[in-house]
Amino acid sequence: MLFATTVAVLAVFAPAENVAAQTRDSWLLVTPPPVPERRVLMKVYAASSDAEVQAAVANLSGEEQVRLVTKVYKILTIPAAAERTEALLAALQDTAAPVASWRTLERFDSATSCAQKRELALQKFERAAARVRTEAPEVDELALEDWTILEGLAACRMSRCVRLDQK
């Protein structure tokens, strides 16, 4: 978010020749790939017994087992389903991955148009997620439509605008 905001501010205050040159560049709106341990994380999250948790993490080192189980436990202790789902979806995205491995959502001619589209999408998903949070505060599981909204929100929150030559 800070990067997109900085790019937007620089685009507004850049000298005219820089803005003209910038519009010839290609910009990408990208979102992080899944974390490498995604399958294991989901198995631990969905486990209904200690045996299932142990089976899910059996191929990891002891330190990795503790880290992953602790991460999922913290998520599972979140009382509201929407917030719990948001935390899980955030944990499933690998923001530390090299930008070259991030998934491209859309291509733009300028940093400004990329940042504007990202901001509009973020606002749309934030409004929809607020509705999910208020309409389903006591449910244990979210409807598929609500899950999809929160997936979009997580992807949008972690998305970035990058110049094509940076990817």
92 to 1, 25, 65, 98: CA distances (angstroms) = 19, 31, 16, 16
Residue 121 Cα to chain centre, angstroms = 13
The pLDDT of residue 24: 58
Q: What residues in the chain have per-residue pLDDT under 70? A: 1-24
Enter the tokens of residue 145: 């439509």
CA–CA dist 153, 165 (Å, integer): 26
CA–CA dist 159, 7 (Å, integer): 14
The pLDDT of residue 166: 73
Nearest to 118 by CA among 42, 57, 40, 31: 31
Q: What residues contact 33, with CB distance under 8 A and at least 6 apart?
A: 93, 94, 97, 101, 102, 103
Q: What residues contact 14, with CB distance under 8 A and at least 6 apart?
A: 22
Torsion angle (degrees, nearest 10) of CA 133, 123, 94, 22: 180
The beta strands (E) that lie in the chain are given as: 27-31, 103-108, 160-163
